Amino acid sequence: MTGWEAHCTLCPMIQNSETYMEMALLEAQSAAERGEVPVGCVIVDGDSGDVLARAGNRTEELDDPTAHAELLAIREASSKAGSARLTGCDLYVTLEPCAMCATAISFARIRRVYFGAYDPKMGGVEHGPAIFAQPTCHHSPEVYGGLHESAAAELLKVFFRERR
């Protein structure tokens, strides 16, 4: 894990990463408008920069506890790629992935994970089971946390405040 702030802000990789995270934030915003917990995800071919999949949470709409943004995006991207392995692909998600999604990210052989807000309660990367640090984890992506953190956290805060 490398903190976002450790990077040079002039790096072109970071500028691209910010654009992809902004796409993920739009997916999160759309999820909120559908009454879903606002989390969005984008999967990108790391070499070409092509967006392979973008998704927001749909657990309520689909009555599906597994329909987190990351899982939906992985299923879409792997279906498009014609392979269960997304080697060389990068995943952008507005919230630290839970243990379910982190394990799916490992199975999919994702190259890099960029996430927005940290999630001490449900997170499975920096918190809880810390999936990628487990000795039984067969593939650990590079992880960059805190990218557009405040925008991602604000979406969640507004969503839950309005529902209380």
Residue 33 annotated to the active site: no
Binding of residue 34 to a second copy (CB under 8 A) = no
Binding of residue 21 to a second copy (CB under 8 A) = no
Q: Could you say which of 46, 51, 107, 118 contacts a second copy (CB under 8 A)?
A: 107
Q: Which of 45, 49, 91 is nearest to 70 (CA)?
A: 91
Closer residue to a second copy (CB): 75 or 112: 75
List strands edge to edge, sheet with 51-56. 2-3, 142-145, 112-117, 89-95, 40-45, 51-56
Cα dihedral 138, 149, 16, 32, rounded to 10, equals 90
The pattern of x and - marking residues 60 through 79 that bind a second copy according to CB under 8 A reads x-xxxxxx---x--xx--xx
Distance CA 43, CA 152 (A): 17
Q: Least distance to a second copy from the beta carbon of 52, Å?
A: 13
Q: Least distance to a second copy from the beta carbon of 136, Å?
A: 4
Q: How many residues does the chain have?
A: 164
Q: Least distance to a second copy from the beta carbon of 141, Å?
A: 13
DSSP 103: H
Binding of residue 140 to a second copy (CB under 8 A) = no
Dihedral sign computed on CA atoms, order 123, 128, 131, 132: positive
Closer residue to a second copy (CB): 7 or 109: 109
Of 24-32, 34-42, 81-89, 140-148, the window that binds a second copy (rule: CB under 8 A) is 81-89
